[in-house]
Amino acid sequence: NYDVLIIPYSKLAGWRDHLAGTIKTVIFDEMQDLRHHGTNKHAAACHVAEGAEYRIGLTGTPIYNYGGEIFSTMDILRPGELGTADEFHREWCTFMGKDKWIVNDPAALRAFMLESGMLIRRTRADVGRELPPVVKVQHRVPFNKAVLECLKEDALQLAQTILSQSADFNAKGIAARELDIKLRKATGIAKAPFVAEMVIDLCKDGQKVVLGAWHREVWDILLYKLKHAGVPAWMYTGSESTVQKTASVDAFIGCEGGAVLGMSLRSGAGLVGLQHVSNTVIYAELDWSPQVHDQLSARVARDEQKNGVTIIYCTVDAGSDPIIASVLDIKTEQHLGIIDGTAPSETIDTQAIQSRISKMAADFVR
């Protein structure tokens, strides 16, 4: 017997039959983890929630990419309230490929969800937990053009496949993924030395910097530069064990003077303590999801932060950065429009977004 049961999403599928029908109230924290319809944990959550009298979903980042994700989470909490998946997609969305659906009118969907009681939005101001100002800056850095030039021949072949009218769907998909991987890595490598120089300058002024990147090759360059500049750096990525990650955080928090905590873009959910020693987050690479950035930034921009927080996105005007930045803008508008109601009120130009998806390839064909 138990009054409260806390269980991670990773174990929910194994407990679904045991819990179904026995739970009166279910609270899904960080509910964005259930945004993928058709996964085992999503099916388990539906099964457990089905017999519950009260269902609550908590998250500050319910939409990671396009607005269509809201259906999967809401269908757990209020089954059928948005219709079937087909009905929701037909009435509210435009298909973007690969199970991605963009909400055409985020403001209208927000209004409907508020009126139906499906959405309750509480800002920090509403609950008296406002933070010092958070400033987000897109900072253009120099880059090594030779790195991108070396990729040009391979990228051109992949781009031609993506844009070809005769290539089959699977071939285009494989080429698109390969171009994305190669171009993002090359872009990160091309700008890494210059990002490192900026981080070094900040650390020499005594600042502790949380540095976000993804590719191991990019980390190798960043760490090499930091080491030779005498800047202490610790890592918190998928390559470190739990014990090593804990030691890295403790060392970063406890050291004197400027230092760096290098964090993988998709790591650190739930990590606390950094807000006491750092108010600067720098992104050496971009993720396709704006909420990935926000989750990592929230390790610093959170309760008990005493200072204004500066978040710097290091970008270049070549490689993958321009297209990723443009897609991030649209995804951010989807989130703000549905959740906060602060995005532009006009409906989304889905045709323009679809052209952006192929722009990465088109740039190489010119």
Nearest to 361 by CA among 182, 102, 217: 182
Q: What is the sign, positive or negative, of the torsion defined by CA atoms of 79, 83, 84, 89? A: negative
Q: What is residue 366's predicted lDDT score, i.e. its pLDDT?
A: 60
Alpha helical stretches, state H, the chain? 9-19, 40-50, 70-77, 85-92, 106-115, 145-163, 169-204, 216-228, 242-254, 290-297, 321-335, 350-365
77, 55 Cβ separation under 8 angstroms: yes
Residue found by looking up tokens 């649209």 in the block: 330
Q: What is residue 268's predicted lDDT score, i.e. its pLDDT?
A: 79
- C-alpha to C-alpha distances, 37 to 41, 70, 120, 225, 260, nearest whole angstrom: 9, 10, 22, 43, 38
Q: How many secondary structure helices (H) and strands (E) does the chain include?
A: 12, 10
Three-class SS of residue 242? helix
What is the full per-residue pLDDT of the chain (366 aa) written as tens digits? 678 899 999 999 998 998 888 889 999 998 999 998 889 999 999 999 998 999 999 988 888 888 999 999 999 999 999 999 999 999 999 888 777 899 999 999 999 999 999 998 887 777 777 777 889 999 999 999 999 888 888 878 877 787 777 777 678 778 778 888 888 999 999 999 999 999 999 999 999 999 999 999 999 999 999 999 999 999 999 899 999 999 999 999 999 999 999 999 988 777 899 999 999 999 999 998 888 998 899 999 988 888 899 999 999 998 889 888 888 888 888 888 888 877 665 555 555 555 555 666 666 556
- The whole-angstrom separation of Cα 128 and Cα 147 is 49
- The whole-angstrom separation of Cα 210 and Cα 223 is 13
- C-alpha to C-alpha distances, 38 to 42, 47, 97, 118, nearest whole angstrom: 6, 13, 17, 22
- In sequence order, what are the beta bridge partners of 210? 261, 281
Q: How many residues does the chain have?
A: 366
Backbone angles phi, psi at 58, to 5 degrees: -115, 130
Q: What is the sign, positive or negative, of the torsion defined by CA atoms of 313, 316, 318, 322? A: positive
Residue found by looking up tokens 């058709």 in the block: 38
- The whole-angstrom separation of Cα 353 and Cα 356 is 5
- In sequence order, what are the beta bridge partners of 112? none
Looking from the CA of 162 toward its CB, the CA atoms found within 13 Å total 24
Exposed, middle or buried, 118 (CB in 10 Å: 0-12/13-18/19+)?
middle
Q: Report strand pairing: 134-140 vs 54-58.
A: unpaired
- C-alpha to C-alpha distances, 152 to 63, 111, 174, 358, 361, nearest whole angstrom: 34, 47, 18, 16, 11
Written as six digits, the tokens of 10 are: 């990773």
- The whole-angstrom separation of Cα 8 and Cα 93 is 31
Nearest to 187 by CA among 140, 227, 229: 140
Global pTM reads 0.79
